[in-house]
Chains A and B, each alone.
Chain A
Amino acid sequence: MIDVYTWEPNANSGKPLLGLREKNLAFTHHYVDMGKREHHAPDYLKINPGGTIPTVIDNGYKMTESTPFLEYMDDAHDGPSLVPSDPYEAWRMRWWCRYLDRDICPALAMVASNALAAPMLAGQTAEQRKEALDRIPLPERRRTWELLYANATPKSEIEESQRRISACIALMEETLSKQPYLAGASYSLAEIVALITMYGWPLRDDVGEAATPHLWLWFKRCLSRPAYKATFDKANAFMGGRAKDARAKLGLAE
């Protein structure tokens, strides 16, 4: 019995949704609406006092870190193996997971939330902001939301994030020119961590058949997987739509 408390198939909140489907494991998705900030509301804080999503409960055992959960899922359950058996390939998989989680996903989140969320939040009153910030348990998260509310992320920081995203695209292209998947010969947890954040990348101007041919083929291979489609078919209109547009641009059948 696996219960997943999370939002949409997007970034950390999406990792267990895609991971569990790749592993062919049944689960119940308890929807936590991040748009309504339900992850900072009392009901959810009873489940995870840290106020982060996802939370996964497997047979009574609670986990709140998304990439460590993927390791657990692969380790504890039968199903297709998603961690390479070769020690060096397993290290490479973890290297990618760590690099994406630590360096790239925050850069993408900074760029996206400043472009999308900050203008929307700007309309709120000071009291509304204070009330919302006071509900965020972890100090580092509170700081991020404070910057967003104030629309105060320095421009140089956003440019640095964009530089990192470009460097990541180049590194993926180089890696995938030598091997079909990030860790080596087979699809692994590194793909799950990458794709759940990058599913819209085929729509980017700097990703394409001509500019990044090996990355393009990797997207084709990965986004045609049944688990991927099943995950995004259940997504909300915005994310599901982007995933659909990305598949169409790759020339994949619906």
Chain B
Amino acid sequence: MLELYHWEPNLNSGEPIIALKEKGIDFTSHYVDVQKFEQHAPAFLKLNRQGQVPVLVHDGKVITETTLMLLYIEAAFPQPSLMPKRADDRYLVHMWSKYADEYLAPAIAMLGWHQVTYPKIKAQLPAARAGISRLPPERQAVWQLALDDAYTNEMLEQARSRLDVRIKRIEEQLAASRYLAGDSYSLADIMIYPAARSFASVVPDLVTPAKTPRLFEWLDKVGSRPAVRATLAMARTPAPEQVFAPGPEVPRWG
């Protein structure tokens, strides 16, 4: 029995959906509407006390942390393999796993919320305040900042600079190999693709045909895969790459 609790097929939630579809594995989909704060409902918090999607439940085992979930899916359902054949390319999968969760996700979530989502849903936010008191302190702090839109210029600038460093790393990698972990498509591409679709909405000046030609080419290539198209077809909003919610915490030190 395989169940996936997810939101729109965007940053984070899109990743396990793509992986499961690439492997042709059936799962029960539970849509959690993050902009209605369903992830803070007591029943969901029993599943993941951090109040974050996606959550995978496999035969009663609860799996969280998006890119680690992808590595679990690969280990539990090895065929067809989404891991590169060479060990040095597999190192890159683990490197992108870290970059996706620790650098891209928090920065995109912060900038996307501040620039795109907050101005649109400001009026609904008082409804969210009750729910955040049920979260552990570190998640409460992330949400408090978001609900008050209290990000300082320094925080926003840091988020941009983190994205700048990693977008350059993506472009550099795609100059060295056809995909992010070698010459064939792998989990690394799935870990980065939903985030990369949002770059144009949050840091349009950092992704341009002149600066990042390979990124655009790769987005088209990955986006044309049937599993990726089927994943995006599950969207309930017209442009899932343009809806944002407060994401993982920004790294605090070093």
The residues of A with any CB-CB pair to B shorter than 8 Å are: 58, 61, 63, 65, 67-69, 71-72, 75-76, 87-88, 90-91, 94-95, 98, 101-103, 106-107, 109-110, 138-141, 143-144, 157, 160-161, 163-164
On whether the beta carbons of B90 and A72 are closer than 8 Å, the reply is: yes
Contact of B71 among A91, A140, A157 (CB under 8 A): A91
Cα–Cα, bound, A93→B19 (Å): 21
Cα–Cα, bound, A72→B71 (Å): 14
On whether the beta carbons of A75 and B252 are closer than 8 Å, the reply is: no
CB distance from B19 to the nearest CB of A (A): 14
CB distance from A23 to the nearest CB of B (A): 13
CB distance from B249 to the nearest CB of A (A): 8
Interface centre among B75, B76, B90, B137, by most chain A C-beta atoms within 10 angstroms, is B75
Contact of B91 among A69, A107, A110, A141 (CB under 8 A): A69
Contact of A95 among B65, B94, B102, B252 (CB under 8 A): B65
Cα–Cα, bound, A140→B65 (Å): 23
Which residue of the partner chain A has the closest CB to B99? A65
Cα–Cα, bound, A48→B71 (Å): 27
Chain A positions within 8 Å of B101 at CB level: 98, 102
On whether the beta carbons of A87 and B252 are closer than 8 Å, the reply is: no
On whether the beta carbons of A63 and B254 are closer than 8 Å, the reply is: no
Contact of B68 among A91, A110, A140 (CB under 8 A): A91
Q: Is the interface of B mostly helix, strand, loop or mixed?
A: helix
On whether the beta carbons of A106 and B251 are closer than 8 Å, the reply is: yes
Q: Which parts of B71-113 form the interface with A (CB within 8 Å)?
A: 71-72, 75-76, 87-88, 90-91, 94-95, 97-98, 101-102
Contact of A68 among B63, B95, B161, B252 (CB under 8 A): B95
Name 26 interchain pairs, CB-CB below 8 A, sorted by A: A58-B88, A63-B91, A65-B94, A65-B95, A68-B95, A71-B90, A71-B91, A72-B94, A75-B90, A76-B88, A87-B75, A91-B63, A91-B75, A94-B65, A95-B64, A98-B101, A101-B98, A102-B102, A106-B254, A109-B253, A138-B165, A139-B158, A141-B254, A144-B253, A160-B137, A161-B253
Cα–Cα, bound, A61→B252 (Å): 30
On whether the beta carbons of B254 and A144 are closer than 8 Å, the reply is: yes
On whether the beta carbons of B253 and A94 are closer than 8 Å, the reply is: no
Cα–Cα, bound, A203→B71 (Å): 36
CB distance from A184 to the nearest CB of B (A): 12
**B162 contacts A by Cβ under 8 Å:** yes
**A76-B88, A106-B252 provided; 19 other pairs, C-beta below 8 A?**
A65-B98, A69-B91, A72-B94, A87-B75, A88-B61, A91-B68, A91-B75, A94-B68, A94-B71, A98-B101, A102-B102, A109-B253, A110-B253, A140-B162, A140-B254, A141-B254, A157-B252, A161-B252, A163-B137
CB distance from A15 to the nearest CB of B (A): 13
